[in-house]
Amino acid sequence: MNDGRIAIDWDSARASNRDNWEDRVPLHEQAYGISDFDDPNHLTRIIRTDLAALVPFLPDGSVSGLDVCHLQCHIGTDTLSLARAGARVTGVDFSPGALESAANLAERLGIDATWVESDVLESCAAVDGDFDLVYTSIGTITWLPDLDRWATQIAGLLRAGGTFYIRDGHPALYAIDEHADGLQLRHPYFGNGEAQLWDDESTYVGDGKLTHSRTYQWAHPLSEIINSLIGAGLQILRVYEDKTIPWKFAPRMVEVPEGFAWPESERDLVPCTYTIIARKAGE
């Protein structure tokens, strides 16, 4: 079966992906609504949604005063929203341009934050200290070939009793042909270790073209995501599946207050995102 997947070594795939993410930084600086942060109460919609799901599982019901590590922090808008909610934040990303942009925004807003340039799969060795919360969301593990290694980094970054939170596009959604007229399966739901090669000059927000258009992404079924966390010693506290997603995954999606969703008649047919909240055992 030719399902578009290819074998590629991680160093080459990561280099292509990093070039692609570097190209996106100036476009996202224009499209992410950064001037909204001039309102000192502004938090991104992603963080407002995630805090509502997360805080019931935090020991004091708040991120205030917690040490938080944000993996794949991009240009820092969610990281700085967590800081505005009271957390001490460290953002990790492999894109130097994204981190420079994040640091500039933090300085402009007068927010203390630490930024670490690292492959997320090597983040435990790159980041100093340990954390009450490791957070990652919306556009994360499809960029990674090896979830066991990913989950090991998360477990290593967490303090005993610390919490892990992820919300991202559902693997069942990623199996759908985003350009088809109706809900139609096209891409593999199950991973086989090989990468899906994408060639796309556009990004998910705003206009403008990317010079480095080739990326490599990996399918990870929900069982693989959950089992990687269990395998790293984390206890799963809660799993949610939702019918909305923060970005327009397909042209046929319609805008709703939480972001985007399929037309109403199709909304119960397939999940758009999943959320997992997990905990590292206490001492």
Between 94 and 131, CB nearer to ligand SAM: 94
Q: Please pick, from the candidates 16, 89, 94, 167, the single residue that binds ligand SAM as defined by CB under 6 A.
A: 94
Report the residue from 16, 81, 90, 95 that binds ligand SAM according to the rule CB under 6 A.
95
Fill in the amino acid letter for 189: Y
Candidates 5, 13, 16, 17: give the one binding ligand SAM (CB under 6 A).
Answer: 17
| CA-derived radius of gyration, the chain | 18
Dihedral, 215, 263, 267, 204 alpha carbons, nearest 10: 20
> Of the listed pieces 61-69, 90-98, 179-187, 250-258, which binds ligand SAM according to CB under 6 A?
90-98
In the numeric block, which tokens belong to residue 240?
Answer: 């949610």
Do residues 191 and 174 touch, judged by C-beta distance below 8 A? no
d(CA 132, CA 243): 29
Site string (140-169) toward ligand SAM, x via CB under 6 A: ---xx-------------------------
Using CB under 6 A as the binding rule, the residues of this chain from 98 to 137 that contact ligand SAM are 98, 119-121, 137
Residues 165-204, one symbol each (x = binds ligand SAM by CB under 6 A, - = not), give ----------------------------------------
Residue 220 binds ligand SAM, judged by CB under 6 A: no
- How far, in Å, CA of 180 to CA of 222, rounded? 24
Query: Quick one: which segment of 94-102, 155-163, 176-184, 260-268 binds ligand SAM (CB under 6 A)?
Result: 94-102
Q: Which is nearer to ligand SAM, 183 or 197 (CB)?
A: 197
Residue 14 binds to ligand SAM (criterion: CB under 6 A)? yes
In whole angstroms, what is the distance from residue 246 CA to residue 197 CA?
A: 24
* Residue closer to ligand SAM, measured from CB, 46 or 183: 46
CA distance 31 to 34: 8
| Residue placing its CB nearer to ligand SAM in the complex, 81 or 163 | 81
For residue 23, state whether it binds ligand SAM (rule: CB under 6 A).
Answer: no
Quote the least distance from Cβ 137 to ligand SAM, whole Å. Answer: 5
Residues that bind ligand SAM (CB under 6 A): 14, 17, 21, 72, 74, 77-78, 93-95, 98, 119-121, 137-139, 143-144
